A = this chain, B = another copy of it.
Amino acid sequence: MGRRSDHSREELRALILDEGHRQLSEVGFARFSAREVAKGVGYSIGTIYNVFGSYDALLLALNGRTLDLWLAFLEERLAGCEEGRLDAAIEAYFDFALGQRHAWTALYDFRLPEGASPSEDYRNKVAAITGVIVREIAAVLPAGAQAQALPLARSLLASVHGHCFFALNGTFAMLGESDPLGAAKARVADALARYGAG
């Protein structure tokens, strides 16, 4: 079969992303297959390569979508939240990871070949999520510690990530920890206490 006019380039791209994200969320990164996505949208594997160029590029696009969903989820949770916004953000972190388990895990299971770096677009998405945390931390830091908001946000993101990661991969269960979210909140509180936040 040759050229078709079923979908424009952008429609096709969106179609593949929709179906791809659906499958990734269902089967997880390890079992994810570009061929299967092609089947799902009724095109051949070659078309996936025409649109995305490579398997890696497809996965980067799918992970980008996950980041978009994550940011939206985070902002929505914070939208009607007056007090305890930072705790709410941590809860949102956990809830998204648990709810979108496979998609979230794929963010970290998938790695570009050594030397390669993600697109500016992708980096911006990561920075956007970080930006939310920077904002929330700045809001609770005293005036004299505002300069610490960015480095602190990066560090606390890493801490929360570690807790969330151990919760999902079974490490915490193996060690008898039954309240990963509580532990994560406590560590964030520890750090903020030192900067006189409140």
Segment from A6-14, A16-24, A76-84, A183-191 that makes contact with B: A183-191
Q: Residue A123 at the B interface, CB < 8 A?
A: yes
The secondary-structure label for the interface of chain A is helix
Instruction: List the B side residues contacting A163 at CB < 8 Å.
Output: 155, 158-159, 162
Q: What is the CA–CA distance of A176 and B191 in the complex, to the nearest angstrom? A: 20
Most buried by B among A111, A161, A165, A175: A175
Q: What is the CA–CA distance of A190 and B121 in the complex, to the nearest angstrom? A: 34
Q: Residue A38 at the B interface, CB < 8 A?
A: no
Contact yes or no, B183 A194, CB < 8 A: no
Contact yes or no, B187 A191, CB < 8 A: yes
Contact yes or no, A183 B117, CB < 8 A: no
Q: Mark A160-198, 1 if CB is under 8 A from B, else 0.
A: 111101100111101111001001101100110110000
Q: What is the CA–CA distance of A165 and B111 in the complex, to the nearest angstrom? A: 12
Contact yes or no, B158 A183, CB < 8 A: yes
Also in contact, A172 and B158, with CB within 8 A (given A109-B109, A111-B30, A165-B165): yes
Instruction: List the B side residues contacting A169 at CB < 8 Å.
Output: 108, 111
Contact yes or no, A158 B151, CB < 8 A: no
Contact yes or no, B117 A170, CB < 8 A: yes
Contact of A159 among B28, B127, B159 (CB under 8 A): B159
Q: What is the CA–CA distance of A156 and B151 in the complex, to the nearest angstrom? A: 18
Given contacts A154-B177, A161-B166, 14 further A-B contacts (CB under 8 A): A28-B114, A109-B109, A111-B169, A151-B177, A158-B163, A158-B165, A159-B159, A159-B187, A160-B162, A162-B162, A165-B165, A186-B191, A187-B191, A190-B191
List residues of chain A with CB under 8 Å of any chain B CB.
Answer: 28, 30, 108-109, 111, 114, 117-118, 123, 126-127, 130, 150-151, 154-163, 165-166, 169-172, 174-177, 180, 183-184, 186-187, 190-191, 193-194
